[in-house]
Amino acid sequence: MTLSDSLTILVNSFLSGGRVKISELSERTGVSIATLKFYLREGLLQAGALTAPNQADYGETHLRRAKLVRTLREVAHLSIAQIAAITGALDRGEDLYAVMGATVDSLGERQPGAPTPEQQQAAPEIDRLLAALDLPTRGESLARDQLITSLAAIRETLFPGFPVESLVLYARAAADIVDAEVRATPGMFDVEPELALDRSVLALTLFEPVLLAFRRLNHEKLAASRLAARPGVG
C-alpha cells in the first residue's frame, strides 16, 4: 500500500463520523451483505469511504439508495438494467420530475408490437382528453399508453363507438383519491430524491391493487343483488 493510500484511509476514517460498516448497513436496510456487494459491483450503490484496503464505511446516502434499490427490485420487480437507468439519472443530477416519470413508466408492461389501427385512432382522442383534464401527455407515458390500449379494446370488444368523454368519470374519481392521499401525507416529496422515489413507487405499487379490489367487490355486490332479484335464482 502506498503512502497516498494510507493517508486516504486515515482521512476517511477521521471524517467517517456517523458512518457504518457494510454489516450495519445490511441490518438497517434489510438487504443482505451479498446483495449490497452486488449493488456496489453493478454501480447501483456508490462506493463507500475507504478505511482499509478491503473495508469501507457507508453513510446516510448509501442507506437511502440501498432502500430505494430494494424497493425497485423487490416491490416493483424492475430489472437491474431498469434500476441502473434510474440510479444513473439520480447520480447525474437529472431533474427529479423527469426521473420520477421514467420510474413510473417502468412499473408496468406496454402493449407489444406496433399499435393497431384502433389504437392509432384512439391516441389523439386520449391526448385531447388528457389536455382538457390538465394531465400529462408525454409520449413515453405508460399511463397514456394504457388508456389508449383500453379505449381501443373497449370499442373493439364491448361498446362500439364508446365515447372517450365517458372516461372522465374515472379521471375524476382518481383525482379525488389523489387529493385525499396528498392531504393525508403532507410533505411526502419534500425529502431527498431517493426517498421521494421510494415513497412514490411504494404508494403506486401497494395502493393501486386496493383501488382495483374495491371496484371488483362493488361489481360483485351489484351482480349478486341483481341475480337475487331474478325469479328462480338462488
pLDDT at 122 over 90: yes
Average pLDDT over residues 194-198: 89
- Residues 63-118 have pLDDT tens digits of 999 999 999 999 999 999 999 999 999 999 999 888 988 888 888 877 778 899 99
Q: Categorize the per-residue pLDDT at 188 as very low, low, confident or very high, splitting at 50, 70 and 90.
A: confident
Query: In this predicted model, which residue has the larger pLDDT, 75 or 186?
Result: 75
Each residue's pLDDT tens digit, 163-185: 999 999 999 999 999 999 889 88
Residue type at 166 in one-letter notation: S
CB contact burial 179-188 (16+ within 10 A = b; e otherwise): eeeeeeeeee
| Domains recognised in the chain with CATH numbers | 3-78 (1.10.1660.10), 108-184 (no CATH)
What's the predicted TM-score (pTM) here?
0.75
The three grid cell numbers given for residue 213, joined into one nine-digit string? 379490489
In single-letter form, the type of residue at position 155 comes to: R
What would the DSSP string read from start to end of 217-229?
HHHHHHHHHHHHT
